[in-house]
Structure 1
Amino acid sequence: MSAAQPGVDEKRLPGIRITYCTQCQWLLRAGWMAQELLSTFGTDLGEVTLVPGTGGIFTISCNEVLVWDRKRDGGFPDAAKVKQLVRDVIDPDRDLGHADRKTKA
């Protein structure tokens, strides 16, 4: 039996997967979105994974739930929208502060 790692919660933390098109050179966009999510959710996320793809793909999934697809949803989301979509999957009651107030107006 091994000892639990210090600071590691028994509950598995949510994971984010951002798949981006290398042909379209969307790595910087994917990296920026990962940074935004990590800045907002911090240690409430278990991981953020960047996955290279082709064919114009740009998708964001949270716990296997597709929250954004560039083709399905029509382009690229702003950071506030992605934060809301991720929040709705991992903690629907969480207040995102200014990101929520902007859309309620």
Structure 2
Amino acid sequence: MTLEHKRPRLEIEYCTQCRWLPRATWMAQELLTTFEKELGEVARVPGTGGVFEVRLDGEGVWSRKSDAAFTDAAELKRLVRDRIAPDRTLGHSER
């Protein structure tokens, strides 16, 4: 694969103190399953202090810091889709 066609890296940074690894794993699975051809990798990054952030090639997609509650998988899929495959439909996730 050439550099021009490099697929993006998605990171989910989660708080180990809050025990959010299962949530990060579930979100990673949902995103990788939905975008298996568009994403190059999905990484879980341990953090602390209540962090739960999703980044695409280092740029923020969603952060719990700016949103008091967790987002759902459908919304996160829409946010990622809008950046990596804006013309793609998400089927039932968009209803």
Q: Same fold (TM over 0.5)?
A: yes
Aligned counterpart for 2:14 among listed residues 6, 9, 20? 20
User: How far apart are 1:43 and its partner, in Å?
Assistant: 2.4
Verify the 8 A CA contact 2:12 2:44 in the aligned structure 1: yes
Tell me, in whole angstroms, the C-alpha distance in 2 between the residues paired with 1:73 and 1:65. 17
Kindly indicate whether structure 1 or structure 2 has the higher relative contact order, using CA contacts under 8 Å at least 6 residues apart: 2
Verify the 8 A CA contact 2:7 2:38 in the aligned structure 1: yes
The TM-score, its normalising length taken from structure 1, stands at 0.84
The TM-score, its normalising length taken from structure 2, stands at 0.93
Tell me, in whole angstroms, the C-alpha distance in 1 between the residues paired with 2:69 and 2:61. 13
Counterpart residue identity of residue 53, structure 1: G
Instruction: Using the TM superposition, name which of 58-67 and 21-30 deviates more.
Output: 58-67
Alignment map for 1:1-105 (pairs within 5 Å)? 9-10=1-2, 11-100=5-94, 102=95
Verify the 8 A CA contact 2:10 2:55 in the aligned structure 1: yes
User: How far apart are 1:64 and its partner, in Å?
Assistant: 2.0
How many pairs align? Answer: 93
User: How far apart are 1:65 and its partner, in Å?
Assistant: 2.0
Tell me, in whole angstroms, the C-alpha distance in 2 between the residues paired with 1:73 and 1:37. 20
Structure 1 residues 14-38: Cα deviation after superposition (integer angstroms, max 9, x where no partner):
1100000000000000000000001
Aligned-residue identity in percent: 56
Larger Cα Rg: Structure 1 or Structure 2?
Answer: 1
Runs ≥4 residues deviating over 2 A? none
Instruction: Using the TM superposition, name which of 17-26 and 74-83 deviates more.
Output: 74-83
In structure 2, stretches of 5+ residues that fail to align are: none
